[in-house]
Amino acid sequence: IGLVIAAAGASLAQGAVTLEYRFTPKESLKYQLSLAGTMKTKMPSPMPSSDMNLKGTLDYLQRAVKVASDGTADIEMSCPRMEMEVMLPGQMIDILWKDKRLDLKINGEPQPSDEVNFSTMPFLGAPVKVRMNKLGKVVEFPDTSALEGLVGNLRISEMLKTNQSQLPDHPVGVGDSWIVETKAPIPGTDHPLTVKTTYLLEGFETLKGERAAKIVMKGSAQAKNLEIGAPAGQQVRPGMTFDELSQEMEGAFWFSVEKGRVLKSELTTKVWQVMTVPLPNGTRKISTDMQMKVNMVLK
C-alpha cells in the first residue's frame, strides 16, 4: 500500500494532467501542413530504377459538426488548398488545388484536368466524415462509400483508423508513457495489419499562449503477403501483392492542456515495401523505399 501511495504522490508532484480533446460544435480549426519526401524504386531488369522527390504545403480544415454529451464528435476533414511539386527523372510536375479547381503542369506545360471530377473526390472536393471520441480515437466512419475501392479491395476506412494519435485514458505526468495498438482487417487473410505506437509525455511548453504537453511518439507496422485485388462488385483480375510491408514512424505533437486541441506536430515516416506486380509477360517484383517528413501547425 505504501508503494502505491508513493507512486501516486510522485505522479501528482510531476503535475499529472488529463489530456482530452474538447470539441466545440460548429468550430473549425485550420492547420497548415508542410511535407517533403523521397521515394526510391528498384525495378526488375531491364527496366530502370527511379527516384522521386516531393515537397509541398496544404491547408487542412477540421470542423466539428456536432458534439455528444460524452465528448464524442462528428468531424469533417477537408483540404481547401494544396500546392505540390513532384520531381521525377526528366519531369517536373506542379500541382495546385485551390477554389475547388485543379491546375496541373508538367515541365511548365499546362495539362487538361477535366477528365476527373475532383469536386466529389474525398478530402479534396468532398469532406471526409469521421466520429472521434475525446481521446482522439476514430470510433466510426458514418459514410465510407466515397473511400472504399480507392485501393482495390482494401477497406480504406479501417486502414485510416490505424493512422491516428491517441491520448491516454488516465491522468499522466512528465515521464509517463502509454501504448496504443490498433488493428485493421485485411480481406483474404486472417492476419490484420497491426500498428503499435508508444507515446511519452516529455514535458510542457508554451505555444500560442497556451500550456502545451509535448508528446513524443514512435510506432511501427509490418505485414506480409498482402494481396490487393479488385474492388467488390468489379470483375476479378490479378492484383498486386505486397510480399513485405514495413512502416516506422516517429515524431512529436504539442497538445493544448486547456483547450484540448493539437497546436503543432512533427512526424517522420519511413516505409519499405516489396511488391509482386502482374505484367503482360508475367509477374515482376518491385521494391520501394520511402521517407516522408510532415510538419503541421495551427493557423
Which domains are assigned to the chain?
17-298 (2.30.230)
Q: How far apart are CA 153 and CA 242, in angstroms?
A: 13
CA distances from 223 to 120, 245, 270, 271 (A): 32, 5, 14, 12
pLDDT at 16: 92
- Strand ranges, E, within 50-137: 50-67, 73-88, 91-98, 101-106, 109-111, 128-132
Mean pLDDT by 10 residues, the chain (299 residues): 46 73 97 97 82 96 96 95 95 93 93 74 86 91 56 53 77 96 71 86 96 96 71 51 87 97 97 84 87 97
Cell representation of residue 258 = 486547456
Q: Are 259 and 17 in contact (CB under 8 A)?
A: no
Q: Which amino acid is at 47?
A: M
pLDDT at 124: 86
